[in-house]
Amino acid sequence: MTTVYDFTVKDRLNNEVNLGGYEGKVLLIVNTATGCGFTPHYDPLEEMYKDFRDQGFEILDFPCNQFADQAPGDAEEIHQFCTLKFGTEFPQFAKIDVNGEDALPLFAWLATEKPFAGFGKGLKNAALNKFADRNNKKFGDKAYIKWNFTKFLIDRKGNVIARFEPTTDMKDVRAAVAAELEK
């Protein structure tokens, strides 16, 4: 059975990182963007990281520019933006694709384990769904992720246990992380 620990990714300096090094930790894996309406998610993410990292929690941040070109810049520019504007300290990895032929295998696996189940109800969510569908048509059956700031919660054994779309209230994400850390 595949777990998150079977994947190798590149950090923001392009060094290979085997995710097996995170074994035994609760992980939140997120694709991010610096120019998105959801970019303020960095604040509650950093708050969670500071509050929970001593309990075995890590956030793995993967910048992605596939959604309306909302993550321009190279890895260093993105890192500077995140650290200066939001004070992020959690690990940031190389800029990646999450959809299409060049999708990082990790994200293809995450999305296969926990497929998209909708953005939720309401006008804003319906509008985002239409926009995301138009954006992702070019990826066909390889449109794994619908938008920036999709989050995957991984248990201490490396299994995907939850998927949170960017429209999910960050308080709900925090509650799920806290509950998983208590197990």
pLDDT, tens digit, for every residue of 111-128?
Answer: 999 999 889 888 788 888
pLDDT at 36: 85
Q: Which fold has domain 4-181?
A: Glutaredoxin (3.40.30)
Question: Per-residue pLDDT averaged across 132-158, rounded?
Answer: 91
For the chain, give every domain's residue range. Answer: 4-181
Contact 70, 38 (CB under 8 A): no
Q: Render pLDDT for 24-80 as a digit per residue (tens, 0 to 9).
A: 999 999 999 988 888 889 999 999 999 999 999 999 999 999 988 888 788 888 888
Phi and psi at residue 169, in whole multiples of 5°?
-60, 130
Q: Give 60-96 as a DSSP string.
A: EEEEB-TTTT-S-S-HHHHHHHHHHHH---S-BB--B
Contact 4, 160 (CB under 8 A): yes
Q: Indicate whether 16 pLDDT > 90.
A: yes
User: Catalytic pick from 19, 36, 153, 173?
Assistant: 36
User: Is 36 one of the catalytic residues?
Assistant: yes
pLDDT at 66: 92
Question: How many Å apart are CA 115 and CA 10, to the nearest integer?
Answer: 24
